[in-house]
Chains A and B, each alone.
Chain A
Amino acid sequence: MLKLDNVTVKYGKYAAIRDVSLTVEKGEIVVLLGANGAGKTTTFRTISGLNQLAGGKIIFEDLEIHRKSPNKIVEMGIVHCAEDRKLFPQMSVQENLNLGGYVHRKNKQQIKNSMKEVYDLFPILYEKRDDPAGSLSGGQQQMLAIGRALMAKPKLMLLDEPSIGLAPLIVEQMFESIQQINKEGTTILLAEQNANAALSIANRGYVYENGKIVVQGSSQELFENEEVRKAYIGA
């Protein structure tokens, strides 16, 4: 479904990621593991068209997408749910969701249906639909960020560190929701530092180090990999 072929991205002269190749098949959950600054976020920003490539190519459903503008990429079905739960804090929950459905704005019925699906998935958002997004708790904000991404009806969702800064119990719920979203037909590419939780729901994974992929394999393989255990699981 998505294929990165020897992708290199530079910030000035500094290469943030070098020769990254990865694939995501339809229906999978694929996780990118790695420390801060290893290149996970850069990879996401590049897939969604916010960064330019210095080399390589990105193919989504047999089409090269790396020269397309970010809004075209969203229209094609890749939605990026950014790190730090970036919301529009003064706008209400509902308005945030509405903006999430921007690419389908002409199809009012679909927007309505998607919104209902999001509220079914995260009932708390329905209760708070008229509250400003900035007044929500961390976990609720993350739900809204994911909900807003779902409004665009993505085929592939890029989830950047959804567990960051959340309480353990909430993290568990979050990963359950992600699994739920995946079951309903959205392919998911997930960046995480919480390797334990991420590998428990993922099919496969890639491990980043200094802008390169150093290890890859199925969740089971990564879980059993000695180095990965040392670096990211801590046992």
Chain B
Amino acid sequence: MIFSNKRIIIPLLIVVALLFPFIVPNQYYIYIMTLSFIWIIAVYGLNIVAGYTGYLSLAHAGFFAIGAYSMGILTTKVEMGFWLAFILSPIITMIIGLFIGLFALRTKEHFFAIYTLCVGYIIYLVIDKWESLTGGVRGLIGIPPLPNIGPIELSDPIYRYYFVLLILLLSIFVIYRIINSLVGRTFTAIRNSENLALALGISTTVNKLLAFVLSTFFAGLAGVLYAVFIRFLGPEISSTIIMFDLLTFLIVGGIGTFAGPVVGTLLIVWVSQSLQFLEEYRMLVFGPILTLMIIFSPYGIVGLFKNISAKRKVKKVKVPIETEKGA
């Protein structure tokens, strides 16, 4: 099956992504696609901790906002150089993530989800109320756009699209390497059974914290890209609505699967675009889809495909046995 053959599908997707601005030379669609790429990075971050490690963090919109606001504050108020701020902001997010993780990871399962939901809300409140730093409800304006790198004019939407695509591909590559390393396997081991992981000599405390901090890094990175792309930040980017958007992208695509974040985000963003005319009633479409998804395919669309191809493999093996019986 073509979908399960990584050697064909991955280069194909990259080529499609590279040609997209030429296939669809529509400014608005390029804008939507660039924004989708930014969301995908954030969803990948969420996937590390919620998908692979099994700790459903509901604070990731908050970390997204911390990344975005760090970038905004460092460039507008501190007047730091663009690229220095660009590198520093995800690191700041990571450090804050480390401190929050130290406390949050003392809880498990539902309690972890509830705890991080509260953390997310506290981040929202801090951004909303700390007017002198964040601009409060008025928001933060005047964030500089991506500066040009030599002859590459990143002010041009098409170049900007490619820049975000590049960061996305780099992020996916790095996350792929992490997930398929021994460290990544320890994350999955923790999801499977923390006691078993402990019994194998894995320090679950350290590895859970590592997964959490890594995931906040990518949420922060997505936030930074968002800040320089939209160039205006309001406290609502840290709201629970954004959090549940991210979660929906992940669940529909496939939580704990590698392709899930790409599939889910692109699908929902584009379906959502084509349902613009329904305005807020769009949720009437998404609600039931999400419910059905969780009941019938808890590992999302990617999980569904994996199941189908696994069943086909089993059938292939079974066939000769059946003919043997017939003879």
Contact A148 B200 (CB under 8 A): yes
Task: Name the interface residues of A29-67: CB closer than 8 Å to any CB of B.
Answer: 48-50
Q: When chains A and B are docked, how far (Å) is the Cα of A152 from the Cα of B188?
A: 19
Contact A74 B201 (CB under 8 A): yes
Contact A102 B200 (CB under 8 A): yes
- The answer, yes or no, to whether B138 is at the interface (CB within 8 Å) is no
Contact B201 A70 (CB under 8 A): yes
What count of chain B residues pass the 8 Å CB interface test?
Answer: 16
The answer, among B185, B192, B203, for a CB contact under 8 Å with A71, is: B203
Q: When chains A and B are docked, how far (Å) is the Cα of A90 from the Cα of B303?
A: 13
Contact A75 B199 (CB under 8 A): no
Q: When chains A and B are docked, how far (Å) is the Cα of A80 from the Cα of B203?
A: 15
Interface string of A83-125 (1 = CB under 8 A from B): 0001011110001001110110100000000000000000000
Interface string of A132-171 (1 = CB under 8 A from B): 0000000000000000100010000000000000000000
Q: When chains A and B are docked, how far (Å) is the Cα of A102 from the Cα of B186?
A: 9
Interface string of B37-64 (1 = CB under 8 A from A): 0000000000000000000000000000
- The answer, yes or no, to whether B327 is at the interface (CB within 8 Å) is no
The answer, among A48, A89, A105, for a CB contact under 8 Å with B199, is: A48
Contact B199 A82 (CB under 8 A): yes
Please give, as numbers and ranges, the residues of chain A lying within 8 Å of B182 by CB-CB distance. Answer: 98-99, 102, 105
- The answer, yes or no, to whether B259 is at the interface (CB within 8 Å) is no
What count of chain A residues pass the 8 Å CB interface test?
Answer: 25
- Of B182, B192, B195, B201, most buried by chain A (CB within 10 Å of CB) is B201
The answer, among B185, B198, B200, for a CB contact under 8 Å with A152, is: B200
The answer, among B185, B189, B199, B204, for a CB contact under 8 Å with A80, is: B199
- The answer, yes or no, to whether A200 is at the interface (CB within 8 Å) is no
The answer, among B185, B203, B204, for a CB contact under 8 Å with A99, is: B185
The answer, among B185, B186, B192, B200, for a CB contact under 8 Å with A74, is: B200
How many whole Å from A130's CB to the nearest CB in chain B? 13
Please give, as numbers and ranges, the residues of chain A lying within 8 Å of B188 by CB-CB distance. Answer: 88, 90-91
- The answer, yes or no, to whether A69 is at the interface (CB within 8 Å) is yes
Please give, as numbers and ranges, the residues of chain A lying within 8 Å of B196 by CB-CB distance. Answer: 82, 86, 88
Contact A99 B199 (CB under 8 A): no
- The answer, yes or no, to whether B27 is at the interface (CB within 8 Å) is no
Q: When chains A and B are docked, how far (Å) is the Cα of A102 from the Cα of B196?
A: 12
Interface string of B197-221 (1 = CB under 8 A from A): 0111111100000000000000000
Please give, as numbers and ranges, the residues of chain B lying within 8 Å of A103 by CB-CB distance. Answer: 200-201
- The answer, yes or no, to whether B4 is at the interface (CB within 8 Å) is no
- Given A91-B188, A99-B185, A102-B182: A71 in contact with B201 (beta carbons within 8 A): yes
How many whole Å from A37's CB to the nearest CB in chain B? 19
Task: Name the interface residues of B224-271: CB closer than 8 Å to any CB of A.
Answer: none
Task: Name the interface residues of B50-105: CB closer than 8 Å to any CB of A.
Answer: none
Contact A69 B189 (CB under 8 A): no
Q: When chains A and B are docked, how far (Å) is the Cα of A75 from the Cα of B10?
A: 41
Contact A88 B192 (CB under 8 A): yes
- Given A88-B188, A88-B189, A91-B185: A102 in contact with B202 (beta carbons within 8 A): yes
How many whole Å from A133's CB to the nearest CB in chain B? 10
Please give, as numbers and ranges, the residues of chain A lying within 8 Å of B291 by CB-CB distance. Answer: none
Please give, as numbers and ranges, the residues of chain A lying within 8 Å of B203 by CB-CB distance. Answer: 69, 71
Please give, as numbers and ranges, the residues of chain A lying within 8 Å of B193 by CB-CB distance. Answer: 86
Contact B195 A99 (CB under 8 A): no
Contact A152 B201 (CB under 8 A): yes
- Given A86-B193, A88-B192: A50 in contact with B199 (beta carbons within 8 A): yes
Please give, as numbers and ranges, the residues of chain B lying within 8 Å of A82 by CB-CB distance. Answer: 195-196, 199
Contact B189 A50 (CB under 8 A): no
A–B Cβ pairs within 8 angstroms, 21 of them: A49-B198, A50-B195, A69-B198, A69-B203, A70-B201, A71-B198, A74-B199, A74-B200, A74-B201, A75-B201, A82-B195, A88-B192, A90-B188, A98-B185, A99-B185, A99-B186, A99-B200, A99-B202, A102-B200, A102-B202, A152-B200
Q: What 10 pairs across the A-B complex have the smallest Cβ distances?
A: A74-B201, A103-B201, A70-B198, A71-B203, A71-B201, A80-B199, A86-B196, A88-B192, A102-B201, A102-B202
18 more A-B contacts (CB under 8 A) besides A71-B198, A86-B196? A49-B198, A69-B198, A71-B201, A71-B204, A75-B201, A82-B195, A82-B196, A88-B188, A88-B189, A88-B192, A88-B196, A91-B185, A91-B188, A99-B202, A100-B200, A102-B186, A102-B200, A152-B201
